[in-house]
Amino acid sequence: MIKVDNSSLTGESEPQSRSPECTNENPLETRNVAFFSTNAVEGTAKGIVIYTGDRTVMGRIAHLASGLDTGMTPIAREIEHFIHLITGVAVFLGVSFFIIAFILGYHWLTAVVFLIGIIVANVPEGLIATVTVCLTLTAKRMASKNCLVKNLEAVETLGSTSTICSDKTGTLTQNRMTVAHMWYDKAIEECDTTENQSSAASNKGGPTLDALVRIAALCNRAEFKPGQQDIPVLRRDCTGDASEIALLKFTELTLGNIITVREKSPKVAEIPFNSTNKYQVSIHDIPNSDSYLLVMKGAPERVLDVCSTMLLNGKEEPLDDKLRADFNTAYLELGGMGERVLGFCDFLLPADKFPRGFKFDTEEINFPIKGLRFVGLMSMIDPPRAAVPDAVAKCRSAGIKVVMVTGDHPITAKAIAKSVGIISEGTETVEDIAIRRGIPVEDVDPHEAKAAVVHGSDLREMSEEQLAEIIRNHSEIVFARTSPQQKLMIVEGFQKQGQIVAVTGDGVNDSPALKKADIGVAMGIAGSDVSKQAADMILLDDNFASIVVGVEEGRLIFDNLKKSIAYTLTSNIPEISPFLTYILFGIPLPLGTVTILCIDLGTDMVPAISLAYEEAESDIMKRQPRDPIRDKLVNERLISLAYGQIGMIQASAGFFTYFWIMADNGFWPKDLYQLRAQWDSRAYNNVLDSYGQEWTYANRKILEYTCQTAYFVSIVVVQWADLIISKTRRNSIVQQGMTNWTLNFGLVFETALAWFMCYCPGLDNGLRMYGLRFSWWFCALPFSVLIFVYDEARRYCIRRWPGGWVEHETYY
């Protein structure tokens, strides 16, 4: 007989026995097939190769993963939607005013300039740079938190996730069998299963525990690989069966140096474990004694059958019906936790019948294997990672459904799901309700059960609609004994319900689902190369809790992109409106096309990018996942706020400054109406202002460019307030604080750049920028204060009356 480790292929944490008999129609579950890439951990065998290369299970899984079309990421769809929207608006306005200008008698070249100016004013030229920098910064931040991002766009996808389909073995659990419970002296004792345990046994102690640990140490073929004395026990490499390795590490932590213990009690005979007997026996020479000690471990019911007494508190008691009932109760309780239970017994062989040098025959068995002394039970499980329950709870509070999808046994899967909170305390499955009521499972209405454990064999018979019904009706779901194809089917089932699905896994069997998911997350340490290749993100520490960090970062990047776009779009109104007034009212042009580019690609660029550094608001992990249909990156509420509210105030600031400087130089607003034709004509060198002074063409143009420079400065001044209010969508600025020093630098940068453009010699010829009087810098300041006060009041109303009209109309 041979045992193989199928964990990377099927998700089963325990080694699986292989034999010549076909035991199941499913090739993944039958015992007479061993798979390419799995490891033999015990025994030897001869086999016939039936498939090679792409026809192996590994090859088929790799082919299944490589042939999947993943489609666009959510953030790519959002940006595409925004580009279509803004392009439509820009082209519509540009063409409309091109036609209007043509109708009003403007020269066709002038009309084309209007067209270009309006399109340039509408397009946020720095958007792509902002998005790329935001994604890169977040990916860098996540790398420092052990999340390696392979695909930049995947950063935001994790924040949009509404369902996480997680593998069990190695992802939710530690991928190492560990002694979890012991039963001795008629009591169950819990053992330390944490990832950094320093001790194993109970502090209770006593002769029964000593005997139990001694049997586990001696009746054990697992060994530590040499040269690991300085390595912590749990990290040492071992040879042997996973369950025996668990016992080996347990006894090493309890007794100390296990090698010394075994050397003091050398093995003189052994009956290895086999599927017929279902037990293992070894006989040892005991120090300071003339007797040999027989120790046995195996299937609890088989071990109990060969015992006649039980060790209780250091005394042997006859094994009566009451003790057997106590045994059965403990056995069922430990088995119900999804743990693998082993029974332990011993027997001190009489020295008169088995003297020193006795030849033990393990074939004919010339020693007693009945009438032994039962000592206790030990149960093992692949324990959950310490941080997983808290991570699952955080996901649930963030509105994210966590689903277990594993190839392991349903009982084990359900037990782990309960221990980590995927199935919450008090939640029942259909089977639980049936047991509680004492009725057949068929008589229970599935809608009554909040949780569901679905077996792979049942999944194979399900239609798409039946799977969809399970997904809709149950909030806590465990899929067990699933094949790679079924994992893929489960992911597609959630996606068809409109869910954004993240898949976590470490095995080859997870790779198709990792590839198909909106975002695949692989384990960096225990993960297979195939799973890492299929994934979009790799958890370098194999810690499921890192996903919560990723979700928060993903939500933060979406929030910050919204804020950055809101900041960028707001200045479109003061950029567009000068062209509209120029066409409709015939006033000298308040803002030029080149100046617009100075705003979009100059002063606005660093502040827009600085919003990527903004800290999360307090409600970021308390919100439900965003709805991909309703919660767009750019929605009507953002457009309303940016264009219809803040943008209008900014445009007012620009025109106020423009008219102030014109009036300061002799041109009152009423006299500017339809002055454009004379103003722009080189033939007029005697245009009169409101005081009757004559202005030459050159002087008029200097005044026009000075006004355009002042209009540009006004936009910079009101963008100060716009940048500050864009820091938060709900919180007050007082709550959010001004600790984003990149943003603070952005404020200084745009001011310094505007100052440089105004006063740098030579830019009056290059960019038509002219120096301003110092007082003209303050014309727009009251409007900047107004923007700040207005938006603080708006956000106060959102916090004060959640769900009210203000939130409904302005919360973007």
- Domain of 362, CATH number, reads 3.40.1110.10
> Residue 61, by phi and psi: left (phi above 0), alpha (psi -120 to 50) or beta?
alpha
- The predicted structure's pLDDT at residue 676: 86
CA gap 503, 489 in Å, rounded: 12
What pLDDT does 219 receive? 95
Residue 805 lies in a domain: yes
Rounded-to-integer distance, Cα 241 and Cα 272, Å: 12
Asked if residue 142 is part of any domain, the answer here is no
Written as six digits, the tokens of 242 are 């996973």
Give me the amino acid identity at 169. Answer: T
373 and 420 in a common domain: no
542 is catalytic: no
pLDDT number for residue 426 = 86
Query: Taking a C-beta distance cutoff of 8 angstroms, is the pair 595, 579 a contact?
Result: no
* Residue 361: count of CB within 10 angstroms of its CB: 10
Phi, psi of 192 (to 5 degrees): -75, 120
253 token code pair: 């932590």
Give the separation between CA 201 and CA 209, rounded to whole angstroms. 8
392 and 497: one domain? yes
Look at residue 108 and tell me if it is in a domain.
no
Q: What is the pLDDT of residue 67?
A: 62
Distances, alpha carbon 516 to alpha carbons 8, 65, 211, 505, 526, in Å: 19, 8, 52, 13, 21
Based on the fold, state whether residues 450 and 501 are members of the same structural domain. yes
Point out the domain boundary residue: 530, 549, 568: 549
The C-alpha angle with vertex 563 and arms to 786 and 579, in degrees rounded to 5, equals 65
Which pair of structure tokens corresponds to residue 449?
């059960």
Do 194 and 343 share a structural domain?
A: yes
User: In degrees to the nearest 10, what's the CA dihedral of 223, 227, 230, 232?
Assistant: -30
User: Both 166 and 237 in a single domain?
Assistant: no
Q: Which residues contact 784 (CB under 8 A, 6 or more apart)?
A: 653, 717, 718, 720, 721
CA Rg, the chain, in Å? 37
- pLDDT at residue 200, as a whole number: 53
Q: Give 156-174 pLDDT, tens digit per residue.
A: 888 889 999 998 877 888 8
Q: Determine phi and psi for 696, rounding to 5 degrees.
A: -75, 170
The DSSP line for 354-420 is S-TT----TTTT-S--SSEEEEEEEEEE-PBPTTHHHHHHHHHHTT-EEEEE-SS-HHHHHHHHHHH
> Long-range CB contacts (< 8 A, 24+ apart) of 760-768?
764/705, 767/594, 767/595, 767/598, 768/592, 768/594, 768/595, 768/705, 768/708, 768/709
- According to the model, what pLDDT value does residue 629 have? 78
Strand partners, 501: 163
* Domain end marker among 549, 567, 586: 549
Listed residue (309, 314, 218, 333) closest to 266, CA to CA: 218
Nearest 5°: CA angle at 526, between 522 and 528?
65
- Domain membership of residue 596 (yes or no) is no
Q: Which amino acid is at 804?
A: G
Q: Are residues 168 and 7 in contact, defined by beta-carbon separation less than 8 angstroms? A: no
Could you give phi then psi for residue 501, rounded to 5 degrees? -110, 130
Please count the structural domains in the chain.
4
Residues 811, 662 share a domain: yes
Report yes or no on 604 lying in a domain: no
Domain at 743, CATH number: 1.20.1110.10
* 3-state SS class at 781: helix
Q: What pLDDT sits at residue 14?
A: 67
Q: Residue 660: what pLDDT?
A: 96
Which one-letter DSSP state was computed for residue 645?
I
Count of all residues that appear for the chain in the document: 812
Looking at residue 541, its pLDDT comes to: 83
Identify the three-state secondary structure at position 127. Answer: helix
Please indicate, yes or no, if residue 58 is contained in any of the structural domains. no
Per the domain annotation, does 789 fall within a domain?
Answer: yes
Tokens of 341: 């239970």
Q: Which of 5, 54, 69, 167 is catalytic?
A: 167
Do 230 and 371 belong to one domain? yes
Q: Are 225 and 239 in contact (CB under 8 A)?
A: yes
Instruction: Fill in the amino acid letter for 48.
Output: I
C-alpha 592/C-alpha 596 separation (Å) is 6
- Same domain, yes or no: 793 and 779: yes
Which helix (H) or strand (E) element contains residue 329? helix 321-336
444 and 369 in a common domain: no
Bridge partners (DSSP) of residue 309 are 318, 373
Whether 602 is covered by a domain: the verdict is no
The pTM assigned to this predicted structure is 0.79
Query: Rounded distance, CA 388 to CA 408, Å?
Result: 18
Query: Are 371 and 222 in a shared domain?
Result: yes
290 half-sphere exposure, CB direction, 13 A CA radius: 6
Q: Give the pLDDT score at 658.
A: 97
Give the whole-angstrom CA distance, residue 528 versus residue 318.
52
One-letter-per-residue 3-state SS of 201-269: CCCCCCHHHHHHHHHHHHCCCCEECCCCCCCCHHHCCEECCHHHHHHHHHHHHHHCCHHHHHHHCCEEE
Q: Which pLDDT value is given to residue 303? A: 96
The C-alpha atoms of residue 709 and residue 726 are separated, in whole angstroms, by: 25
Task: Identify the bridge partners of residue 377 per DSSP, sorted by sequence position.
Answer: 183, 343
Last residue of a domain, one of 329, 350, 381: 381
Q: Could you tell me the residue range of the domain that residue 278 belongs to? A: 178-381
Question: Distance (Å, rounded) from C-alpha 625 to C-alpha 226?
Answer: 51
Name beta bridge partners: 479: 405, 454
Q: Which residues of the chain have pLDDT under 50?
A: none
Let me know if 199 is exposed, middle or buried by CB neighbors in 10 A (0-12, 13-18, 19+): exposed
What is the distance between the alpha carbons of residues 63 and 41, in angstroms, rounded to a whole number?
28
Looking at the fold, whether 376 and 452 belong to one and the same domain comes out as no
* The pLDDT value given to residue 105: 79
Write the CATH number for 545: 3.40.50.1000
Residues 314 and 203 in one domain: yes
pLDDT of residue 532: 87
Name the nearest CA neighbour of 727 among 715, 737, 717: 737
